[in-house]
Amino acid sequence: MSGGLYRSANAAQDGGAGAGVRPGDGATFISAEPLNQPAMESTAPPQEQVGEASAATNSAVMAIGSLVSRGTGFLRNLVIAAALGGALVGDAYTTAQILPGMVYEFLLGGVLTSVLIPVLVRRRKVDVDGGQAYAQRLLTLAVLALGVAALLAVAFASTLTWLYGSGPSGGDYSQLVTGLARLMLPMIFFSGLSALISAVLNTRGHFAAPMWAPILNNLVVIGTAGLYIAVFGAEIVRPEEMTTGRILLIGGGTLLGVAVQAAGLLPALRKVGFRWKLRFDFRALGLRELGRLGAWMICYVAVSQVGLIVLFNLLNRAGKENAAGPLIYNNVFLLLMTAHGIIAVSIITALMPRMSAAAADGRFADVAADLSRGTRTVTAVLAPIAVCYAVLATPIAFTLFRFGAFNEDNATATSVVLLAAALALVPFAVSQLFTFAFYALPDTRTPALINIPVVALRIGVQIVLFVAFSASFAGAGMMIGNAVSYLAAAVGSAWLLRPRVGRIGLGEIMRTGGRVLVAALGAALVGLLVVKLLPGDDTPTRLQAIVQLVIGGAVIGGTYLGLAMVLRIGEITEVVGMVRRRLGR
């Protein structure tokens, strides 16, 4: 029910057009689930299936792995941007990556999280062989289906290019996207294989390999981009100047990263005692049941793809006019997803088991209470980050992205998109929380139906803004369209949840939201004043940008915290009190 470009190992324009980075936190593999539903990465089976590994150990492994994966994933994007720049070549690379993400997401992405993982967990518990034969059948069928899908996608690469990248129509740009896509589309096979193996490992209590394997992917692509810079230099080139060698290196290296990630998971299968045997008795999989369970998720993803097609066509048209295109938009969305992943996903992950258990017991008042508490917490904690993104958009862009072929104009364009993206952060997180409340009931049908008008609204706003303003505002307009649709998704979800779970404490949410808004505006005003007094203008040097970022961030954070204490924002004062108690020990 959201929209944008997404995280990696589960993430691009989400909920209604998601684009996400798929395999590996931070990978630039744009897909259609990210945004809409940042897949809950916790697929842990019941405690008795975890073997000797304690829950605390698993949590620590996952937390450290996620942090390293996000870090290397972000570095991966920076190096790619430095190698290719934020102009047409970088946009062609980013567009080519959306193609395998789109096919993978449609075939497996959302269905894996919502259907296959729960089925694998259930089979693990009830089958005499611990679900081994079932998992072998599933992997066999998936390998065949993914292999055929990858081959067909490569064969129709030019059609996919026309569908997603028709902005700069025909000519060298389209040929470049198609050439890169032919190298990257086999990622469909390796991404699907990696996701399924990770699911099998998780249901057997093994979390380390699935969490760390994406890092191999990131390191391979970082090395590829570094080699590209060493061989060809970090300079802006036009699509017609991309030689076969350049295309093979950057496209082939990106494919290699996903293949290495999948291969890195194979030893772990043997470690947990799983033997991969080809089984072709697919009837035993209960395909009719799987199809019934996954139908609404496929509907959800299909609707999201429509929004994604519109998004990339508009961004490619903007890129043709030397404005922010797919690469810049993707980088900014990654920043959005980083904040969401660290803060909101942690809160949702903590609340999801509680809401699911309460719903199963018929304690819907408890579901509503958790939903209200989660909404207030997410809003209060993410608000200062949104303020930092808005006020410090220029120093953030110049500090993080201004390297190599990613020039000053690209950094300036990034800051404009980031400013608009700040408006989407809190609505996105809240809409995700409400979406997962439906999943806790459990209900995948309602989110899929809500997604239809949400995507339609997003597309409408984005097209109107694209037509009404110049191309230089296109990237920011896409983010504003996202923000409007996220807000609509949250409101619509809350309205439809009320008959199911009762009152969710709207009055309390509004009171907290009002206080958070006052604290955020105060922090923004003080931050703007301080940044204006610091050296550096709209195009700061890297040193000036770093100084603005460090001092401005500290001032915004301190001001927000002080105002939150004065205004008695409970979600903040509780955290402060907890920290004080621990320091006092």
CA 43 to chain centre: 17
> At 539, which amino acid appears?
T
> What does the pLDDT read at residue 581?
63
Structural contact between residues 9 and 22, judged by C-beta atoms closer than 8 angstroms:
yes
Mean pLDDT of 19-24: 33
Task: Tell which wins on pLDDT, 350 or 58.
Answer: 350
Taking the complete model, does pTM exceed 0.85, yes or no? Answer: no
pLDDT in tens, 70-126: 888 889 999 999 999 988 999 999 999 888 888 877 777 666 666 677 777 778 777
CA-to-CA separations, 288 to 125, 181, 291, in angstroms, rounded: 21, 33, 5
> What does the pLDDT read at residue 42?
39
pLDDT in tens, 245-284: 999 999 999 999 999 999 999 998 888 888 777 887 777 7
pLDDT in tens, 170-191: 588 999 999 999 999 999 999 9
413 pLDDT higher than 90: yes
Q: Which of 261-265, 317-321, 493-497 comes out lowest in average pLDDT?
A: 317-321
pLDDT in tens, 458-470: 999 999 999 999 8
pLDDT in tens, 505-549: 888 999 999 999 999 999 999 999 999 999 988 889 999 999 999
Buried b vs exposed e over 137-158: b needs ≥16 C-beta within 10 Å? bbbbbbbeebeebbeebbebbe
Helix axes 408-440, 474-501, angle to 10 degrees: 10
> What does the pLDDT read at residue 43?
38
> What does the pLDDT read at residue 564?
93
pLDDT in tens, 348-380: 877 877 888 888 888 899 989 989 999 999 999
> What does the pLDDT read at residue 8?
33
Q: Which among 486, 472, 462 is positioned nearest to 309, based on CA atoms?
A: 462
Q: Which of 137-141, 310-314, 558-562 comes out lowest in average pLDDT?
A: 137-141
Mean pLDDT of 213-236: 93
Q: Is the dihedral of CA 82, 6, 119, 146 positive or negative?
A: negative
Place of tokens 């080519």: 96
> What does the pLDDT read at residue 470?
85
> What does the pLDDT read at residue 21?
32
Q: Tell me how far apart the alpha carbons of residues 418 and 410 are, in angstroms, rounded to a whole number.
A: 12
